[in-house]
Amino acid sequence: MQIKNAKVFTKDFIFEDKNLYIKEGKFATAADENDSEIFDAKGLYAIPGLVDIHFHGSVGCDFMDGEVSSIKKIAAYQASCGITSICPATMTMGEEDIHKACKAGADFVASDSEAELVGINMEGPFVSHNKVGAQNPRFVIPSSAEFFRRAQKVANGLIKLVAIAPEVDGAMQTIKDLKGEVLCSIAHTTANYETAKEAIACGAKHITHLYNAMPPLHHRDPGPIAAGADAKDCDAEIICDGIHIHPSAVRAAFKLFSKERMILISDSMMAVGLNDGEYELGGQKVIVKGRLATLESGTIAGSATNLFDCMKTCVQKMDIPFEDAVRCASYNPARSIGILDKAGSIEEGKKADLLLVDKDLNLKAVLLRGKWLKFNL
């Protein structure tokens, strides 16, 4: 397959006018001499398939359903929206429920129309009772390397991230114990600057949904946001749905962490792709109106926006450069969970996951592992 005349997002994070070649489901450097599939993408931007490393569900299904059938519906919706690699998140629930979700993740095999499940994000139960957000406080427990390892065994090694509130008793030791096994992420926390700095030094090189479920950045008590910004090897997730964070705070985060360390996530729950109504997240009732999803208490409960639309919002309503937004929704998340060898950029030998978008960032086509899933040229 050949895709000609596109403005291609390169490994140098810039757009260049060039042709693309695909062989056997992967990007190649030259055309096959017998190739008769040629597509003209003049006027369109070619970007890598997006990688969402933190979301919970879609189209009425949640990863915590613990059913392969639910993951298949989620993966099909995500792929149709240009999210070609997914790392869905668990919730703070009982160990049996977490294991059920992990087992379903390990058993899932993507069809030609479904995003590939490249990992699992274990969000909970090692969070702070004082910053549970939309997590269920009944199931919060102290962090435990052995608890994680039991889940990882069920997941067949798929867990790439584990959320930990570092100020909770035993958490720092857990971070040390898990270094080299999984990426620990500072999350749902009341940690001050010093505690967060120590956690990063111990191996927690990631921050879950920056700003949300953590102390704010204060000039005398800067907290985990400043600790992460100061550590040049710590990434930060951010939800750019237009609900969770003010555009100015998003721009400030990009200045603090730089485009090299920011990761766009959706944190979407089961309502994304559906109409307003009542849904569920982690066993708790969620009310969705437009892009706003809340518990009955009014607490924001994930988002109702997919990652492609978050990226689009980031560019069009938050003034983040298009090149930076693309990088933070593809390359950076793939790097963070260790799958950059097969996803995250348009390079020879990687999966031919590709999106074609117009100048207004409308999604025109999705190429999934070398086959057109959506085509509207």
Active site residues: 267
Alpha helices in the chain (DSSP H): 68-80, 95-107, 145-154, 171-178, 193-202, 223-230, 247-257, 307-316, 322-329, 331-336
* Three-state SS sequence of 123-135: CCCCCCHHHCCCC
Q: How far apart are the first and last CA of the chain?
A: 16
| C-beta neighbour count of 183 within 10 angstroms | 22
CA 175 – CA 206 distance, rounded (Å): 12
CA dist 61 → 102, 106, 273 (Å): 15, 17, 10
Residue 278, H or E segment: strand 277-281
| C-beta neighbour count of 165 within 10 angstroms | 28
CA 177 – CA 302 distance, rounded (Å): 30
Contact 213, 188 (CB under 8 A): yes
| Max Cα distance, the chain (Å) | 66
- What residue type is assigned to position 256 of the chain? L
CA 338 – CA 355 distance, rounded (Å): 22
Q: What share of the chain is helix, strand, coil (3-state, %, to 5)?
A: 30, 25, 45
Contact 69, 282 (CB under 8 A): no
- What residue type is assigned to position 318 of the chain? M
Reduced to 3 states, what is the DSSP secondary structure of residue 217? Answer: coil
